[in-house]
Amino acid sequence: MAKKSRAAPRREESLSRDRIIEASIEILDSSGEDGLTFRALSERLATGPGALYWHIADKSDLLTAACDAVVARAMAAPAVATTTPRETICALALGLFDAIDAHPWVGSALTRASGRLPIVRIIERLGQQVCALGVPRAHQWATVSALLHYIVGVAGQNAANAQVARTQGSDRSEFLDAMATTWSHLDPDDYPFARSVAAQLRAHDDRVDFLAGVDLILRGIGAAHPR
């Protein structure tokens, strides 16, 4: 047996906020929101639950920090000077959509992060482009707010869908299929529209619909503030 080197640390790396957040993201990605517990997390980090509280305030802090790490990456892509503000907004929105698609738990974390850092990052990037679009100062906040709420709304719905699919053990298409079937059995007098779109539901592409919504808002901005 090899002799222990002097002052060998208990872990390969000592505990730190960043290491905790990194481990949290891994657990969230593999086991979902319900899988992230202080016990599971401390086990993975080879420590006790109490140790985590030295580096993070509470679970909400942990979730927001994990969310922020993902959002920061998605918002880090620099704006290319040769693109229009409109294109940049679409790119930012799509970047967020894809990040949330890859990490569904970010969707629900974002919903609970109002006013916190991850939301401010998004507001800042959107806001700069809304200014560049020529929206007058008095309307800038409401405009950014509309874009933000739409994006966060879709994010939350996607997270919820993923959560349902996870707990039911079914994948997305099975989930959509079951939903479409339920809708097509609704009362024709009370729910004519829901019945009529049930079929489209099976084939639709969330990403395309998401972009269509962003496009609608951008058109609205253009119509409200013609240059």
Whose Cβ is closer to DNA: residue 34's or residue 124's?
A: 34
Quick one: what does residue 136 bind among its own copies, DNA, none, with the CB cut-off 5 to 8 Å set by partner type? Answer: none
Binder of its own copies out of 163, 166, 177, 207 (CB under 8 A): 163
Enter the tokens of residue 59: 């679970």
Q: Which residue, 35 or 213, has its beta carbon nearer to DNA?
A: 35
**Should residue 151 be labelled a site residue for its own copies when binding is judged by CB under 8 A?**
yes
Contact between 78 and its own copies (CB under 8 A)?
no
Q: Kindly list the distances between the CA atom of residue 216 and the CA atoms of 45, 90, 149, 209, 222, in Å, as whole numbers in the listed order.
A: 46, 11, 14, 10, 10
54 vs 141, which CB is nearer to DNA? 54
Nearest CB to DNA, comparing residues 31 and 170: 31
The one of DNA, its own copies, none whose footprint includes residue 181, by CB under 5 to 8 A per kind, is none
- Interface positions with its own copies (CB under 8 A): 108, 111-115, 120, 123-124, 127-128, 131, 139-146, 148-154, 156-157, 160-161, 163-164, 175, 179, 182-183, 186, 190-194, 196-197, 200-201, 204, 208-209, 212-213, 215-224
